[in-house]
Every structure is written in C-alpha cells, then in structure tokens.
Amino acid sequence: MTRHAFRGKRWEGHPAGTSVCGVLCAMAEPNELDWFQAPTCRDCTDVLIAEQDVARHGEGGE
C-alpha cells in the first residue's frame, strides 16, 4: 500500500477520503503499523511541494 496525504488538519473519523493526489481510498487507522511503514505517495508529495512553492514564490513579488 502507499501512504497518501490528505487535506485537513486532522483525521475526523471518516471511513474514506480523497487524497491530495485525487485517489479515493479507505482511511487507515493511525495505529496500523503497515500504514507507517508504507512509502509516502510520490504524487501527494509532489503536489504538496508544488503548493508550498506557489505559496512561497507565487505572490509576484520578485
């Protein structure tokens, strides 16, 4: 399995959700060991990095 990133400050008990990269998947229990051992989704990471880049450089200040 792959560990996707999700929007929102915290998990509120929803059984499923849409990840940052747009995949609808079941939400894992936070204490599932497999979840923490799973590799982080590359697509989710890329999207979050790109958004941070926009937040940092997207104001048009330079």
Residues that bind Zn ion in the complex, under the rule CB under 5 A: 4, 19, 21, 41, 43-44
**Toward Zn ion, which CB reaches closer, 21 or 38?**
21
Distance in Å, CB of 21 to Zn ion, minimum? 3
Question: Cβ closer to Zn ion: 24 or 59?
Answer: 24
Within 10 angstroms of residue 29's Cβ, the number of other Cβ atoms is 9
Question: Closest CB to Zn ion among 50 and 57?
Answer: 50
In angstroms, the CA 42 to CA 46 distance is: 6
The total number of residues written for the chain in this structure? 62
Q: How many CB atoms lie within 10 A of CB 18?
A: 12
